[in-house]
């Protein structure tokens, strides 16, 4: 089982739709969580951190469920410019240091 | 704003050549990383460094080495390039928070697309 799993998609949605991605992680000692966005042939860029209480940034909402070991990303009122790959990132506490684990990403296509 | 700069956007090298990929960050970050990204495999960690002259192996260090002589610069070295090292290489940096960096997000350079023929 992969340490971080995401549905690869692709998700094809019309403009204005609401779309949700889930990401599951296997290490219950995971400490911090992020969503990154990666455009085609570009580097990943931080979209938002995911806090235990959940957090919202405009049209984007991130949630963490520690009991079930998953995080989610909700995008409301999708725009064409939201088309990208969304990467889930988990940082478990590791003895002697840290470890950042990336999911393989979920592809989103928003169509007019 | 954090800036992570990779020296080359595209590189074409021949099998057996020694290849140097350079990465510089300007935000005084303690931690630096090298990843490669391949279709279907996602991002895989090659090496990371949490201090000058310190290095740790990631998940796929074979065929690679690194150098961190200065805090702002982290170099990835392919000792003898092979065709299976054709990939997108991404450098990243992050801030160490009281010795633990697991709360700090990574900031990526714009990548080096390496082709080994």
Nearest residue to B90 (alpha-carbon basis) of B76, B79, B101, B80: B76
Mean pLDDT of chain A: 90
Answer whether residue A99 shows pLDDT above 90: no
DSSP character string of B2-69: --EEES-SEEEE-TT--EEE-EEESS--SEEEEEEEETTTEEEEEEEESSTT--EE-S--TTEEEEEE
Closest residue, chain B, to A107 (C-alpha) = B40
Interchain proximity B110–A32, CB inside 8 Å: no
CA distance, residue B46 to nearest chain A CA (Å) = 12
CA distance, residue A56 to nearest chain B CA (Å) = 17
How many other CB atoms are found less than 10 A from the CB of residue B51?
12
Answer whether residue B95 shows pLDDT above 60: yes
Q: How confident is the model at residue B2 (pLDDT cuts 50, 70, 90)?
A: low
Those of residues 48-87 in A touching chain B at CB distance below 8 A are: 49, 87
Q: List, for residues A33-70, the tens digit of each pLDDT value.
A: 999 999 998 999 999 999 888 899 999 999 999 999 99
Are B87 and B114 contacting, i.e. CB atoms less than 8 angstroms apart? yes
Q: List, for residues A8-18, the tens digit of each pLDDT value.
A: 889 999 999 99
């Amino acid at each position: 089982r992969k340490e971080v799993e995401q549905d690869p998609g692709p998700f094809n949605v019309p403009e204005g739709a609401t779309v949700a991605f889930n990401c599951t992680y296997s290490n219950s000692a995971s400490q911090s969580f992020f969503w990154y966005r990666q455009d085609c042939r570009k580097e990943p860029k931080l979209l938002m951190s995911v806090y235990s209480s959940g957090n919202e940034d405009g049209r984007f909402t991130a949630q963490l469920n520690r009991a079930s070991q998953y995080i989610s990303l909700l995008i409301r009122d999708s725009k064409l410019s939201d088309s990208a790959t969304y990467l889930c990132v988990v940082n478990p506490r590791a003895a002697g240091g840290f470890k950042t684990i990336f999911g393989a990403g979920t592809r989103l296509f928003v169509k007019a | 704003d954090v800036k992570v700069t990779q020296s080359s956007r595209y590189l074409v090298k021949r099998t057996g050549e020694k290849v140097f990929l350079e990465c510089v960050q300007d935000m005084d970050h303690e931690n630096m990383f090298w990843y490669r990204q391949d279709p279907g495999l996602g991002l895989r960690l090659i090496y990371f460094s949490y201090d000058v002259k310190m290095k740790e192996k990631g998940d796929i260090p074979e065929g690679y080495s690194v150098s961190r002589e200065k805090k702002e610069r982290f170099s990835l070295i392919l000792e003898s390039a092979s065709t299976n090292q054709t990939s997108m290489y991404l450098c990243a940096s992050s801030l160490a928070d009281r010795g633990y960096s697991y709360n700090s997000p990574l900031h990526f350079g714009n990548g080096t697309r390496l082709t080994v023929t």
